[in-house]
Structure 1
């Protein structure tokens, strides 16, 4: 039986820790400075389930006990686009957004940031074009983190692609299925 989006509601608080302990027990720990951009005002702009997921991740990030799995560093978590003089466009390349519209939760290793949007979706901000690229979205943070943890586990040789491929397809997330940039295509 494949997983559904409804199955993943609450994943960040309920199952993330166990998955990280299973697949990344020796990973270094996330360490962000105390002055990292607060998440509280952004949480107010989210629907309750989305706010709960981001609050759960934020508690883990700031605890100093979260294993490093998402390139969460002082420059990638809570990134200030205006403070760093970076443009921030929506996927239409014309709609300008502000720091109030996104909260970055980590990076991809190439300078691109994973950002939670006020509608709860997660999208990739491509630093070269300063845009939240189309075709990179996940419906919410819970499904993004579930997918990303499995992507990293496959890439690390701790989980077989065949064990998660049907679930990735069933979830139907652009950020996992996009032919060139999706996590599933990058698992090869």
Structure 2
């Protein structure tokens, strides 16, 4: 039976810790300073399920117990775009957004940030063009984290791609499919 988006609702609070313990128990722990941008004002702009997922992630990030499976550092979590003179353009390359419209939750290792949007979607902000690029989206944080944990586990040789490839395809997320961000092609 293949996985559906509905199956992943509540993943961040319910299953993230167990998956990280299974595949990343030996990983360095995330540390962000106390003065890291608060997530609270942003949570108020999200639908309840999206706010619950981001609040659950935020608790784990700030606890110091979250394994480093995504580049979550003081410079990537809660990034202050305006304070760092960075623009945020939507995927149309015209609509300008602000820090109130996004909350960065980590980086991809190339200077690009994974951002939660007020729609609950996750998109990659490409630093070179300062744009939330199309083809990089995930429907919500639960499906993004489920995908990224498995991406990291496959890349680390702790999970076989064959065990999750059908689920990635069934979920149909732009950020995972080869035509988009390409997590699947990066795992092969």
Rounded Cα–Cα distance in structure 1 between residues aligned with 2:178 and 2:156: 21
CA contact (8 A) 2:137 2:173 kept: yes
Rounded Cα–Cα distance in structure 2 between residues aligned with 1:178 and 1:6: 23
Rounded Cα–Cα distance in structure 2 between residues aligned with 1:88 and 1:181: 18
Name 2:90's counterpart in structure 1. Answer: 90
Shift of 1:154: 0.3
The count of corresponding residues between Structure 1 and Structure 2 is 188
Name 2:36's counterpart in structure 1. Answer: 36
Task: Please state whether the residue corresponding to 2:26 is helix, strand or coil.
Answer: coil
Give ranges in structure 2 of 5+ residues lacking alignment: none
Shift of 1:186: 1.1
Instruction: Let me know the Cα RMSD of the aligned residues.
Output: 0.7
Segments ≥4 residues shifted beyond 2 Å: 178-181
Name 1:169's counterpart in structure 2. Answer: 169
With normalisation by structure 2, the TM-score equals: 0.99
Shift of 1:184: 0.8
Rounded Cα–Cα distance in structure 1 between residues aligned with 2:28 and 2:98: 32
Shift of 1:185: 1.4
Give ranges in structure 1 of 5+ residues lacking alignment: none
Task: Please state whether the residue corresponding to 1:83 is helix, strand or coil.
Answer: helix
Name 1:65's counterpart in structure 2. Answer: 65
Shift of 1:98: 0.1
With normalisation by structure 1, the TM-score equals: 0.99
Shift of 1:133: 0.3
Rounded Cα–Cα distance in structure 1 between residues aligned with 2:141 and 2:104: 11
Task: Please state whether the residue corresponding to 2:34 is helix, strand or coil.
Answer: coil
Name 1:16's counterpart in structure 2. Answer: 16
CA contact (8 A) 1:136 1:178 kept: no
Name 2:56's counterpart in structure 1. Answer: 56
CA contact (8 A) 2:135 2:179 kept: no
Task: Please state whether the residue corresponding to 2:74 is helix, strand or coil.
Answer: coil
CA contact (8 A) 2:102 2:118 kept: yes
Offset from partner CA, 1:21-68 (integer Å, 9 cap, x none): 000110000000000000000000000000000000000000000000
Name 1:108's counterpart in structure 2. Answer: 108
5 Å-filtered alignment, 1:127-166, equals 127-166=127-166
Task: Please state whether the residue corresponding to 2:27 is helix, strand or coil.
Answer: coil
